[in-house]
A = this chain, B = another copy of it.
Amino acid sequence: MSGEDAPAQQQNAEEQKQQQQQQETKTPAESPKTESKPDPPPSSASTEAAAAADTPAPAEEKAPEEDTFSYRALVLTGYGGYDKVKLQVKKGKPALKSGEVMVRVKMCGLNFADLMARQGLYDRLPSPPVTPGMECSGIIEAVGEDVTDRKVGDKVLVLNRSGMWQEVVVVATTHTFLIPEGMSFEEAAALPVNYITAYLMLFDFGHLRPNQSVLIHMAAGGVGIAATQLCKTVNDVTLFGTASASKHEVISQGGVTHPIDYRTRDYVEEIRKISPKGLDIVLDPLGGSDTHKGYNLLKPMGKLISYGAANMLAGQKKNLFAVAKTWYQQFSVHTLSLIQGNRSVCGFHLGYLDSETELIAQAMAAVMDLYRQGKIKPRIDSTYHLEQVGDAMRRMQERNNIGKIILTTEPMKEEEKKEEAKKDEEKKKEDKKKDDKKKEDKKKDDAKKEEKKEEKKKEEAKKDDKKAEEKKEETKKEEN
């Protein structure tokens, strides 16, 4: 489970090992027996699994034989571009430990941290091969020993550190939450990460109260929309939201008082015009220089809440320049500056609240309550099949979504698959073109650099000669 975005940091070997061990206990016992199934046609096994997903298994139905049990799973096979997440088939029925449940997954949520993770920039995802995904919704298919608060057939949503993008997941019951009446599986998969992140940031760190002002970056994103809805539950909150102009109508309707097109306007200037004294709360998923700007926008008793480094993401593959720049510009603050400004700087990331089950449960209960009261409602931007995970990630990466992007475990129809294959080919060609151009540009650049280096070397050689002569003369003088 995780927030919207994540810091770039390589985990150390020890931690990785621990994580992998944990991961192994969460995923099926026989998970290593996976088969790569990157392309259609689908295996009979996957169709079978899909059929099972369509009709929730009643409590009495016997479980399929352990050796014939299989299910589709997205697997990150290595760090890199969109194609590094592959659809595979896992075989073998997951073993359930005490306190665990098995969930037949219907929908999964996509988060910024998943994009970071694919590029190797998110240290809470165990190393590949691994199934990403921090949230999903589905139906309980089996319960382990000592499970009393869940039963087969319960509709639940799941929040977990990773491993949610597959048809079957096994998790501790503490990571599952009953879906309230009237909430769709899509909404349920869209809810946990975005709404708990926004809730804890605004109401715990932020202590949002009536008449305050809030800045929400990426206001059309998952956390952005969740935060907007949560702000609207408090009277007379003034909301500044950054998003590209095409999304302004939607976010205005959603509750953003002042939408700002960050691409054509200086948002700091725009905010100062309307609110010269500054802001009470700044939610910052960007990092780098934007954190500095956010800090300087704070009123006395203002809170800056940093929850990511989206500025590190500049393309489908890791962009070392963007990473380094964001890292270099990352905000650091001295307590004396905080004291003189009466300010607060907070860091939030749901991915590091893994073990805080009570805290999460409380926040979830509050969020569910708001849903039941009709005060919040996840906005689904689009739903993709597991086979289309690349397109889904691209949509988020290129900031084309308004609201949540969902993956469904429902298999694609044959005709859809054919069309998809065609599109894929085209996209690959386009990507290749782009890559080729980049490579060519790089070559040119390198050649230029090489030339410059040569020149420099020659100059230095000249200087060296000169120095040597000077030295000789000096020593002569000394001897004289």
Query: Which A residues have a C-beta under 8 Å from some C-beta of B?
Result: 6-7, 9, 200, 203-205, 207, 287, 291, 300-301, 303, 306-309, 330-349, 352-353, 356, 359, 472, 475, 478-479
Q: Is the CB of B333 within 8 A of A333?
A: yes
**Contact among B9, B340, B353 for A352, CB-based, below 8 A:** B340
Q: Is the CB of A340 within 8 A of B347?
A: yes
Q: Which residue of B lies closest to A334 (CB)?
A: B332
Q: Is the CB of B347 within 8 A of A300?
A: no
Q: Which residue of B lies closest to A354 (CB)?
A: B300
A345-B330 contact given A204-B301, A479-B475, CB 8 Å threshold: no
- Give complex CA distance A340, B330 in Å: 14
Q: Which residue of B lies closest to A362 (CB)?
A: B209
Q: Is the CB of B339 within 8 A of A348?
A: yes
Q: Is the CB of A345 within 8 A of B342?
A: no
Cβ–Cβ < 8 Å partners of A6 in chain B: 339
Q: Is the CB of A334 within 8 A of B335?
A: no
Q: Is the CB of B479 within 8 A of A336?
A: no
Cβ–Cβ < 8 Å partners of A287 in chain B: 335
Minimum CB–CB distance for A58 against chain B, Å: 40
A-B contact pairs, 22 of them (CB 8 A): A6-B339, A9-B336, A9-B340, A200-B301, A203-B207, A207-B207, A291-B335, A309-B336, A330-B335, A331-B334, A331-B335, A332-B332, A332-B335, A333-B333, A333-B345, A338-B347, A339-B352, A340-B352, A341-B347, A341-B352, A342-B349, A344-B346
Cβ–Cβ < 8 Å partners of A353 in chain B: 300-301, 342
A339-B306 contact given A334-B332, A345-B344, A352-B300, CB 8 Å threshold: yes
Q: Is the CB of A340 within 8 A of B7?
A: yes
Q: Is the CB of A342 within 8 A of B331?
A: no
Q: In terms of DSSP, what is the predominant structure of the interface of chain A?
A: mixed
Return the 3 tightest CB-CB contacts between A and B, nearest first. Answer: A338-B347, A339-B347, A344-B346
Q: Is the CB of A336 within 8 A of B347?
A: yes
- Give complex CA distance A296, B196 in Å: 25
Cβ–Cβ < 8 Å partners of A344 in chain B: 205, 303, 344-347
- Give complex CA distance A36, B9 in Å: 64
Cβ–Cβ < 8 Å partners of A337 in chain B: 347
- Give complex CA distance A121, B330 in Å: 31
Q: Is the CB of A352 within 8 A of B356?
A: no
A7-B349 contact given A332-B332, A344-B205, CB 8 Å threshold: no
Q: Is the CB of A356 within 8 A of B478?
A: no
Cβ–Cβ < 8 Å partners of A204 in chain B: 207, 301
Q: Is the CB of A301 within 8 A of B332?
A: no
Count chain B CB atoms within 10 A of each CB in A338, A339, A343, A348 and give the residue with the most: A339
Q: Is the CB of B339 within 8 A of A7?
A: yes
A330-B334 contact given A300-B359, A301-B204, A475-B475, CB 8 Å threshold: yes
Minimum CB–CB distance for A57 against chain B, Å: 37
19 new A-B contacts, CB < 8 A, other than A9-B340, A340-B347, A475-B475, are A7-B340, A9-B336, A200-B301, A205-B301, A300-B352, A301-B353, A301-B356, A303-B346, A306-B335, A306-B339, A307-B339, A331-B334, A333-B345, A337-B347, A338-B347, A339-B348, A341-B352, A345-B345, A472-B478
Q: Is the CB of A336 within 8 A of B7?
A: yes
Minimum CB–CB distance for A29 against chain B, Å: 31
Cβ–Cβ < 8 Å partners of A330 in chain B: 334-336
Q: Which residue of B lies closest to A349 (CB)?
A: B339
Cβ–Cβ < 8 Å partners of A331 in chain B: 334-335
Minimum CB–CB distance for A308 against chain B, Å: 8
Minimum CB–CB distance for A292 against chain B, Å: 10
- Give complex CA distance A146, B173 in Å: 66
Count chain B CB atoms within 10 A of each CB in A335, A337, A348 and give the residue with the most: A335
Cβ–Cβ < 8 Å partners of A349 in chain B: 339-340, 342
Q: Which residue of B lies closest to A468 (CB)?
A: B478
Q: Is the CB of B348 within 8 A of A342?
A: yes
Q: Is the CB of A301 within 8 A of B359?
A: yes
Q: Is the CB of A345 within 8 A of B338?
A: yes
Q: Which residue of B lies closest to A472 (CB)?
A: B478
Q: Is the CB of A338 within 8 A of B306?
A: yes
Cβ–Cβ < 8 Å partners of A7 in chain B: 336, 339-340
Cβ–Cβ < 8 Å partners of A359 in chain B: 300-301
Cβ–Cβ < 8 Å partners of A200 in chain B: 301
Cβ–Cβ < 8 Å partners of A308 in chain B: 339
Q: Which residue of B lies closest to A339 (CB)?
A: B347
Q: Which residue of B lies closest to A5 (CB)?
A: B339
